[in-house]
């Protein structure tokens, strides 16, 4: 009788939650914390910066406790390389968190990026990886052509007939570009509407809200279960889930209607739905759909926007000169617009893309991992089941690896031989590295080349409207989110050669005529 009473007593008071999921790891530095909350208060909302400061005193890798969960955090380029790459078969799973997994994803299944490693995750990751590998991405270039053409055409419309500089915020154009590409690949159709289209804005708003619920910095109820009784986060999560269900259902139904009418075009979900050999369940297909939508929506547009922001900054003019020289040397003046779809031969543009990814590391704390085997780190045995956090921001600004890391210098990525391994951690690393990196990279390359040849990028006339160019944490409007949400700013654009640009736009219009609008 007494043990039953005691068990109930413990359950009511949630005393079991006072102990951590993984016991204290011997021989691994630990950051002293407070009872119950652990290190939650100390880390605040700007976790990457605080963790990097702590690593100066406690070493590159240490353990922290957030409520009842223990985490191992790596903060330098070398330590991440050793843990994430040399131990990639161990660091292959993902944690489950209360708000995200129990409340938010209960009706849609988890995205691939939030799924623990099991047979189902393996199947879904394989299907997504096949659809997003290098050769597949080459076959999507007509869609990249269409979306970048539509975006630039709208930019030109916003500039009007002005031959001088016009200042505007191009972020919504890049958001539509990324979302439409994901929808085209996922469902075989896009949202043909202005940047204010209701469905487009709803998807962008909801996915942004969900991204905030995935971060480790402001979801205390994930680590202190007692808070779940009072948390307004749970209501927010339920609301976002309901709104996400509505558009996911709408998109899937639209695809199914097309399949029954025979009007569908080849796409990831359609191909899976029509494949009699397909081993994926309905739930798994839904998970791939959500992954396609969520995967590139926060990340790619922010990365492109911040790359363009750099071009409008103090270094902008000299960077544009070097980039244009490279483009003109590699392609002729006339056909760069078209040729950038076919290959990635501009070495300086490629280095610029990598530096944009490094300098703006838009997921500063990457996505957490869980180990499935023991990992040994400098004499400490880190048991299977431990959650690992990659401080990608700290690693990408690690002065022991990158010379003058706070300077934006594409040259650092020139002349690096193929096969040199991970050059930055914007896409994570190892076994669960970003599956969409080839697609994201191509989107960036094409968008940068086309913007550069079409427009002169200038600082906004009003200094108060200019972007903050110090780095991802400084420019972030939502420090408690998983990914960077740039604070609003404007960029000046001036058309370089209107006649030539009109010709390029007509060219893309003709080349993409066959794609349904």
C-beta of 117 vs 317, nearer to ligand HEM? 117
182 binds ligand HEM (CB under 6 A): yes
C-beta of 368 vs 459, nearer to ligand HEM? 368
HSE-CB for 164 with a 13 A CA cutoff: 2
427 binds ligand HEM (CB under 6 A): yes
The distance of closest approach from Cβ of residue 167 to ligand HEM in the complex, given in angstroms and rounded to an integer, is 25
405 binds ligand HEM (CB under 6 A): no
Contact string (CB under 6 A) for ligand HEM, positions 51-70, x = contact = --------------------
C-beta of 365 vs 495, nearer to ligand HEM? 365
Within 10 angstroms of residue 270's Cβ, the number of other Cβ atoms is 19
212 binds ligand HEM (CB under 6 A): no
Q: For residues 389 and 329, what is the distance between their CA atoms, to the nearest angstrom?
A: 42
Confirm if 95 and 76 have CB atoms less than 8 A apart: no
Window contacting ligand HEM (CB under 6 A); options: 73-81, 101-109, 264-272, 421-429: 421-429
The distance of closest approach from Cβ of residue 391 to ligand HEM in the complex, given in angstroms and rounded to an integer, is 12
Q: Given candidates 303, 320, 391, 508, which one binds ligand HEM under the rule CB under 6 A?
A: 303
Q: For residues 37 and 227, what is the distance between their CA atoms, to the nearest angstrom?
A: 11
Confirm if 104 and 210 have CB atoms less than 8 A apart: yes
Q: For residues 297 and 448, what is the distance between their CA atoms, to the nearest angstrom?
A: 18
Q: Given candidates 410, 436, 471, 492, which one binds ligand HEM under the rule CB under 6 A?
A: 436
Confirm if 75 and 393 have CB atoms less than 8 A apart: no
Confirm if 156 and 501 have CB atoms less than 8 A apart: yes
Window contacting ligand HEM (CB under 6 A); options: 275-283, 297-305, 395-403, 492-500: 297-305
Q: For residues 357 and 338, what is the distance between their CA atoms, to the nearest angstrom?
A: 24
Q: Given candidates 22, 252, 255, 292, which one binds ligand HEM under the rule CB under 6 A?
A: 292
183 binds ligand HEM (CB under 6 A): no
280 binds ligand HEM (CB under 6 A): no
Q: Given candidates 48, 95, 188, 295, which one binds ligand HEM under the rule CB under 6 A?
A: 295
The distance of closest approach from Cβ of residue 415 to ligand HEM in the complex, given in angstroms and rounded to an integer, is 23
The distance of closest approach from Cβ of residue 81 to ligand HEM in the complex, given in angstroms and rounded to an integer, is 12
Q: For residues 411 and 252, what is the distance between their CA atoms, to the nearest angstrom?
A: 45
453 binds ligand HEM (CB under 6 A): no
Residue with tokens 């031969």: 345
472 binds ligand HEM (CB under 6 A): no
Q: Given candidates 435, 447, 476, 508, which one binds ligand HEM under the rule CB under 6 A?
A: 435
C-beta of 125 vs 214, nearer to ligand HEM? 125
The distance of closest approach from Cβ of residue 259 to ligand HEM in the complex, given in angstroms and rounded to an integer, is 22
Q: What are the Cα distances from residue 500, in Å, to 164, 326, 418?
A: 17, 19, 35
Long-range contacts of 230-238 (CB under 8 A, 24+ apart): 231/99, 233/99, 234/99, 234/103, 236/209, 237/99, 237/100, 237/103, 237/104, 237/213, 238/103, 238/104
Q: For residues 405 and 155, what is the distance between their CA atoms, to the nearest angstrom?
A: 33
Q: For residues 303 and 32, what is the distance between their CA atoms, to the nearest angstrom?
A: 36
SS3 state of residue 388: strand
Q: For residues 222 and 67, what is the distance between their CA atoms, to the nearest angstrom?
A: 8
The distance of closest approach from Cβ of residue 289 to ligand HEM in the complex, given in angstroms and rounded to an integer, is 11
| Binding residues for ligand HEM restricted to 103-122, rule: CB under 6 A | 112-113
241 binds ligand HEM (CB under 6 A): no
Q: For residues 166 and 495, what is the distance between their CA atoms, to the nearest angstrom?
A: 9
The distance of closest approach from Cβ of residue 366 to ligand HEM in the complex, given in angstroms and rounded to an integer, is 5
Q: Given candidates 54, 74, 327, 429, which one binds ligand HEM under the rule CB under 6 A?
A: 429
Confirm if 144 and 442 have CB atoms less than 8 A apart: yes
C-beta of 412 vs 432, nearer to ligand HEM? 432
146 is written with which tokens?
A: 């269409």
267 binds ligand HEM (CB under 6 A): no
363 binds ligand HEM (CB under 6 A): yes
121 marked as part of a ligand binding site:
no
Q: For residues 130 and 286, what is the distance between their CA atoms, to the nearest angstrom?
A: 17
366 binds ligand HEM (CB under 6 A): yes
Helices (H) and strands (E) counted in the chain, each on its own, are 19, 9
Contacts of 331 (CB under 8 A, 6+ apart): 339, 340, 345, 346
364 binds ligand HEM (CB under 6 A): no
Opening angle at CA 439, ends 391 and 108, nearest 5: 75
Confirm if 400 and 55 have CB atoms less than 8 A apart: no
C-beta of 95 vs 459, nearer to ligand HEM? 95
287 binds ligand HEM (CB under 6 A): no
| Binding residues for ligand HEM restricted to 186-205, rule: CB under 6 A | none
Q: Given candidates 439, 453, 475, 484, which one binds ligand HEM under the rule CB under 6 A?
A: 439
Window contacting ligand HEM (CB under 6 A); options: 230-238, 320-328, 366-374, 504-512: 366-374
The distance of closest approach from Cβ of residue 129 to ligand HEM in the complex, given in angstroms and rounded to an integer, is 8
Give me the residues that bind ligand HEM (CB under 6 A), please.
112-113, 125, 128, 132, 182, 291-292, 295-296, 299-300, 303, 362-363, 366-367, 369, 426-429, 432-436, 439-440
User: Where is the binding site for heme, in residues?
Assistant: 434
């Amino acid at each position: 009788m007494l043990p039953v009473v005691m068990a109930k007593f413990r359950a009511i008071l949630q005393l079991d939650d006072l102990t951590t999921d993984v016991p204290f790891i011997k021989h691994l530095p630990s950051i002293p914390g407070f009872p119950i909350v652990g290190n939650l208060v100390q880390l605040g909302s700007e976790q990457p910066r605080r963790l990097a400061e702590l690593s100066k005193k406690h070493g590159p890798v240490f353990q922290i406790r957030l409520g009842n969960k223990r985490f191992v955090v790596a903060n330098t380029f070398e330590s991440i390389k050793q843990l994430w790459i040399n131990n990639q078969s161990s660091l292959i799973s993902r944690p489950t968190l209360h708000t995200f997994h129990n409340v938010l994803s209960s009706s849609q299944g988890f995205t691939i990026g939030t799924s623990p490693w099991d047979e189902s995750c393996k199947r879904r990751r394989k299907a997504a990886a096949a659809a997003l590998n290098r050769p597949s991405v080459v076959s999507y270039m007509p869609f990249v052509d269409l979306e970048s053409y539509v975006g630039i055409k709208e930019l030109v419309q916003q500039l009007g007939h002005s031959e001088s500089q016009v200042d505007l915020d191009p972020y919504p154009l890049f958001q539509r570009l990324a979302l439409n590409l994901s929808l085209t690949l996922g469902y075989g159709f896009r949202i043909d509407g202005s940047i204010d289209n209701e469905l487009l804005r709803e998807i962008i708003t909801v996915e942004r809200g969900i991204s905030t619920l995935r971060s480790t910095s402001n979801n205390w109820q994930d680590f202190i279960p007692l808070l779940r009784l009072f948390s307004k986060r749970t209501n927010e999560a339920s609301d976002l889930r309901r709104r996400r269900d509505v558009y996911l259902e709408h998109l899937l139904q639209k695809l199914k209607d097309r399949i029954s009418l025979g009007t569908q075009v080849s796409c990831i979900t359609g191909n899976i739905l029509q494949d009699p050999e397909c081993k994926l369940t309905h739930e798994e297909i839904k998970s791939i759909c959500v992954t396609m939508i969520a995967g590139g929506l926060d990340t790619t547009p922010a990365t492109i926007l911040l790359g363009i922001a750099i071009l409008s900054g103090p270094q902008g003019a000299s960077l544009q000169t070097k980039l244009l020289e490279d483009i003109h040397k590699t392609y002729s003046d006339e056909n760069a617009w078209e040729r950038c779809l076919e290959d990635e031969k501009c070495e300086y543009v490629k280095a610029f893309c990598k530096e944009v990814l490094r300098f703006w590391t838009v997921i500063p704390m990457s996505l957490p991992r869980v180990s499935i085997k023991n990992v040994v780190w400098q004499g400490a045995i880190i048991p299977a089941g431990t959650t690992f956090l990659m401080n990608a921001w700290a690693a990408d600004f690690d002065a022991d690896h990158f010379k003058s890391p706070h300077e934006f210098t594409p040259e650092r990525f020139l002349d690096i031989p193929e096969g040199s391994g991970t050059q930055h951690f914007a896409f994570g690393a190892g076994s669960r590295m970003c599956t969409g990196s080839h697609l994201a990279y191509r989107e960036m390359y094409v968008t940068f080349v086309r913007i550069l040849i079409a427009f002169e990028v200038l600082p906004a006339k009003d200094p108060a409207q200019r972007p903050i160019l110090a780095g991802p944490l400084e420019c972030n409007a939502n420090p408690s989110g998983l990914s960077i949400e740039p604070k609003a700013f404007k960029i000046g654009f001036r058309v370089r050669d209107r006649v030539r640009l009109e010709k390029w736009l007509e060219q893309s219009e003709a080349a993409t005529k066959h794609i349904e609008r």
